[in-house]
Amino acid sequence: MIKAIGDAFSDIRSGFRLRRVWLALAREDIDDQHRRTRLGPLWLLVNYLAFASIFIFLFHRGDSSQESYAAYAATGLLVWLFISEILTQANTLFLREENFIKGTTLPISVYVLRLTMQSVIRAAYAVAGCAVILLLSGAVPTPVWLFSALALLLILVAAPATIIIFAFLGAYFPDSQFIVTNVMRLGMFLTPVFWVYSGQGGFRMAFYHWNPFTYFLEIFRIPITDNTVPTQSFLICGTVVLTLWLLALVLLGRYRKQVVFVL
């Protein structure tokens, strides 16, 4: 295991030395997706605002259990969209990059960092949209909001590890892409992205407390909506991130050279 982790760090170091490559590729991917459109990447902002507005104004108007439902939904949607994109896109990463993996000697981490940067760029537009909704909802920034910034950093740190794990899963078990896609579709409704948990029992309590996504939403949301620091949620998320990175390093170290033979 130690050798595998050492090999993984070597691959990651090589990937960071090629940061100009994956940064340029990530920007090119975003531009290509919006080529010939008038708004260009601003469509990412429009899409987020439209999606959030539907749930805020049509599905949960006048929620009495949450003082500012607009801020609650906007923050939850921001984190969920980032997590959802990471998981679904990561699962088919090596399959999409098959030609590059077979035809070049680039470190595997280059593809991981490329997808990470794409997701960060998309999320940046969602952050702008979330800021607009928070402003319109009357939310007043406080020093506690700095913990929301820390939460975004923690989620970002988790992203490459998550991509590595699910990319190898998708390469060795292609059916997993359909499983992950369906789980994320259901997960949006089983996770408190839009619905508010107010101490109820039954299935809602189970979906709230035993859902790992809940805590990643909370570390970003609660400092903004409740002006408090969710210490327990931070501890849980920190533990999850460390576990993800340990597993990711082992997988990267052991299978980065073998993955080409299963594509």
Q: Has residue 18 got a pLDDT over 80?
A: yes
Ranking 70-74, 123-127, 159-163, 194-198 by mean pLDDT, the lowest is 194-198
Residue 258 is predicted with a pLDDT of 87
Mean pLDDT of 78-101: 92
* Local confidence band at 66 (pLDDT 50, 70, 90 cut-offs): low
What is the pLDDT of the chain when averaged over all its residues? 89
Helix (H/G/I), strand (E/B), else coil: 229: coil
The amino acid at 174? P
CA 114 – CA 26 distance, rounded (Å): 5
CA nearest neighbour of 220 among 122, 127, 145, 110:
145
Q: Has residue 53 got a pLDDT over 90?
A: no
Return the structure tokens found at 131: 């800021």
Its pTM stands at: 0.92
Contact predicate 109/12, CB 8 Å: yes
| Structure-token match 């997701």, residue found | 119
Q: Please name the residues in contact with 224: beta carbons below 8 A apart, sequence gap of 6 or more.
A: 71, 75, 134, 139, 145, 148
Q: Has residue 3 got a pLDDT over 50?
A: yes
Contact predicate 50/120, CB 8 Å: no
Q: Please name the residues in contact with 187: beta carbons below 8 A apart, sequence gap of 6 or more.
A: 84, 211, 213
Q: Has residue 64 got a pLDDT over 50?
A: no
Residue 232 is predicted with a pLDDT of 95
Mean pLDDT of 96-121: 91
- Burial of 140: CB neighbours in 10 Å, binned 0-12, 13-18, 19+: exposed
Q: Which residue would you say has higher pLDDT here, 106 or 244?
A: 244
Q: Has residue 60 got a pLDDT over 70?
A: no
Residue 195 is predicted with a pLDDT of 85
Residue 57 is predicted with a pLDDT of 78
Q: Has residue 157 got a pLDDT over 80?
A: yes
Mean pLDDT of 78-90: 94
| Structure-token match 């039954």, residue found | 202
Mean pLDDT of 71-83: 93
What would the pLDDT profile of 5-14 be if each residue is shown by its tens digit?
888 889 999 9
Domain boundaries, the chain: 2-261
Residue by residue, DSSP assigns 82-136 as: HHHHHHHHHHTHHHHTHHHHHH----HHHHHHHHHHHHHHHHHHHHHHHHHHHHH
